[in-house]
Structure 1
Amino acid sequence: MKCTWQAGRDAPGDTQYFLYWQNSRDNDAMECELYIKDENGRNTGCRFQNVMIKTEKSYFLVNGSSKDSPIQFYEEYILLYEIEKLMPPSNITVNCDEMKNNCRIQWQRPQISHSNKDKCFKYEINIKYKGDPEGKNKYTFIQEGGNSRMFQRSNTRRKYLLKMRSAGSACFVSSAWGEWSATVEFGNEEIISSSVWILLVIAVATLLVTIITILFCQRAACWKAAFSQIPEPKSSFCGLPDTNPELMERKIQSVTSENEEIILVADVEK
């Protein structure tokens, strides 16, 4: 717990302040053990450790002293639970079912000395997409009591960011919203690995070089220089004299030998 005050407008320069407090009627008044000082060494605040907040009012007294003039004291009765600033929920976890769109959010209530019931708290849950340039909250929930909630993802291929804070809903707990929790990241995000990016770049570069080479060779006619044409063979029948069919005589001779008949056909040039 931390208490602060300001020096009086007309307080002499040597004025010093001292804080006394009584947590309840059953306790004795105690002086501050850890003062907060300004640049002149004057007490302007106090830090209390291991404070037990109760449901009855606590008594505070700030007394001042000076060699030059008397200093007016200040006293007040305060319900500490009404001014308590709650810590955020702890142990926040999110477990998602990869086969479905449901995620289960779980947490533990703030630890305070004067209440140990979940029903005494309410929670604000803010969820947004990771990397959202607008930075706006996609979902906002207010939940009374409990320590878990189901969340249905609208996009299973995105990562989400979640944060929570708490306030009193009933009992003797401050109704003011406390501090936000640390951001919790959950969900899946399809990210192409660096090795895949490198392979894609190499493939695209190779394709571009091939296309440029083909276009250049078509314009420069380098294919003919690289691959010479094979000459076509000349016809072996070119230049032979024409044969006069009238000068040809067909002679057919039949030879019979056992069971086989052989017919010989020959062209004889006269």
Structure 2
Amino acid sequence: MLCIPAGARLPVGAALAMAFVWLAVFLVPVSGLLPPDHDPYPIDISDPDPPIKNLRMEPERKRLTWDLHGNVSEIMCFINSKAFTKARKRTYCSIPDLSCQATNYSIKVTKGQPFSTWIQYPSQEGNPRAAADNLTCWVHDVDFLTCSWAVGREAPRDVQYNLYLENLDSYEKWPCSQYRADEQGTNVQCRFHNISVLSKDQTRFLVNGTSIGSKIPCSETSDRLAKIEVLAAPNITSRWCNQSYSFMQWQVRSHLNDDFKYELQIQKIYKAFLELNNPGTYTVQVRARDATFSHYKPWGPWSVPQHFVCEEGARLPVWLTSLLIALGTLLAMGLVLRFCRFSVMQKLFPPIPHMKDHINGKLQNGRTMTWDPDQDSQEECPVAEVQVLGET
């Protein structure tokens, strides 16, 4: 601290410097009271009757609700300081997904008397570092779902973990059917054996912890099963080759997806079959991945290597040869029947010839016939009168 004797006078420059020093001393504590991200809608502590009271969570209805006492026109709801929806009827906000972990839920009056308040739900219990760590789940081998996690870094020695699946729309739950434990007997992995009975909607994976001497917070993650599936290797169902082409067909099984992309070691394709010029003897593998989420999902494993022997003069498969013979026979029979039908129709309905028009010098319909006056007609048509018009 700077001390100045009584009655002493300071030069003008020194007096100004001293004034700046004291000004800084008084301003620093005031600015330190304002947090860097201070609330633009602070609570009016002086208001004995705030516009919003009794902020609470209704987990069964998935609602953040409160009692409205003031005249406000718009309220926004926040989760961990991030705005996510506008209040409905100015009295509640629907929460799409309630977390099992402690989360800050707040509301702010954005039109009307400035006001904000918040709650934590659920209340924080136990040491967060005792909860299951690095929870990861994936679908694999068509029918199986596996979730794994690590023991919390500060978990007590007697900690035990249990996993549940929950449908976020219906709240239906499925407990783990098979656990795998570490050397201390703590569950660190769970496997479900038949995912066809599980929900295909958004699913929550929840791990609760228990201990005799302390409370263990939960761990969770959520996703659709279709997004976390690792496709099984395709099964090559048929293959054949001839002198010109090699053909193979495969199948991919999944309870969750039906749109796939495929990759061969020789080229990329986007259909469930491949036709190549005969490459001779070769070995090929194929793998698949989900086309819907292909931008971030990895490829599945390669299929078992398939060995092809396509020698020169290789024959077509028996079923294809039989099919070609049957088609050829049907085609030949169709041509014969068509020819016979045309011949029979010609005999039953012969074309009627036409006489030449001597007056106009034209043919009627382009057809003529020779008239033999000496030939006896099948019918005698007597002529009553003949009029000679001229000679040609």
The bucket for the TM-score relative to the shorter chain is: 0.5 to 0.7
> Shift of residue 46 of structure 1?
0.3
| Unaligned stretches of 5+ residues in structure 2 | 1-144, 313-392
Partner residue in 1 for 2:247: 104
Q: State TM-score, norm by structure 2.
A: 0.40
Inter-CA distance 54–178: structure 2 relative to 1 (3 Å threshold): farther
User: Which letter maps to 1:21?
Assistant: L
Deviation at 1:92, TM superposition (A): 3.8
1:29 partner amino acid: K
**Contact kept? 2:246, 2:310, Cα under 8 Å:** no
Q: How does 1:61-80 map to 2 (within 5 A)?
A: 61-80=206-225
Unaligned runs of 5+ in 1: 127-139, 191-270
Task: Pick from 102, 113, 118 the counterpart of residue 255 of structure 2.
Answer: 113
Query: 2:202 aligns to what?
Result: 57
Preserved CA contact (<8 Å) 1:82 1:173: no
Q: 1:41 to 1:21 in 2, by over 3 A?
A: same
Task: Please point out which of 304, 307, 321 is paired with 1:182.
Answer: 304
TM-score by length of 1: 0.56
Confirm whether residue 164 of structure 1 aligns to residue 286 of structure 2.
Answer: yes
Classify 1:9/1:47 alpha carbon distance in 2 versus 1 (closer, same or farther; 3 Å): same
Match of 1:26 among 162, 170, 190: 170
How many correspondences in the alignment? 167
Q: Specify which structure has the bigger relative contact order, considering alpha-carbon pairs within 8 angstroms and separated by 6 or more residues.
A: 1
In 2, the alpha carbon distance for the partners of 1:7 and 1:71 equals: 11
- What amino acid does structure 2 have at the position aligned with 1:178? G
2:236–2:248 Cα contact (<8 Å) kept: no
Amino acid corresponding to residue 268 of structure 2 in structure 1: I
Deviation of residue 23 (structure 1)? 3.9
CA pair 47-41 structure 1, distance change in 2 beyond 3 A: same
Amino acid paired to 1:64: G
Instruction: Report Cα offsets for 1:53-111 as digits up to 9, x if no partner.
Output: 655310111010111221111122112211110012113432110xx231011112x21
Residue 299 of structure 2 is aligned to residue 125 of structure 1: no
**1:58 aligned counterpart, secondary structure:** strand
Q: Is the 8 A contact 2:166 2:204 kept in 1?
A: yes
> Residue 253 of structure 2 aligns to which amino acid in structure 1?
Q
Contact kept? 1:37, 1:43, Cα under 8 Å? yes
Q: Which deviations, in whole Å up to 9, do the C-alpha atoms of 1:223-257 show, x marking residues without a partner?
A: xxxxxxxxxxxxxxxxxxxxxxxxxxxxxxxxxxx
Q: 2: distance between equivalents of 1:23 and 1:164?
A: 35
The reply to whether residue 88 of structure 1 matches residue 213 of structure 2 is: no
What is residue 274 of structure 2 aligned with on the other side? 149
Q: 1:39 aligns with which of 171, 178, 183?
A: 183
State the match for 1:14 in structure 2: 158
2:327 corresponds to: none
Q: What is the distance in 1 between the residues matched to 2:296 and 2:173?
A: 25
**TM-fit CA distance, 1:172:** 9.5
CA contact (8 A) 1:115 1:172 kept: no
Supply the distance in 2 between the matched residues of 1:7 and 1:171 (Cα, whole angstroms).
31
Q: Residue 225 of structure 2 contacts residue 256 of structure 2 at CA under 8 Å; is this kept in 1?
A: no
Question: Aligned partners of 1:38, 1:176: CA distance in 2, in Å?
Answer: 28
The runs of 4+ residues in structure 1 deviating greater than 6 Å are 171-174
From the superposition, tell whether residues 125 and 21 of structure 1 become closer, same or farther in structure 2 (CA, over 3 Å).
same
Percent identity of equivalent pairs: 32
Greater displacement, 54-63 / 22-31: 22-31
Alpha-carbon RMSD across the aligned residues, in angstroms, is 2.4
Alpha carbons of structure 1 residues 39 and 8: separation in structure 2 relative to 1, 3 Å: same
Shift of the 14–175 alpha-carbon distance from structure 1 to 2, 3 Å rule, reads closer
Name which one, 1 or 2, has greater alpha-carbon Rg. Answer: 1
What is the CA–CA distance in structure 2 between the aligned matches of 1:175 and 1:18, rounded to whole Å? 28
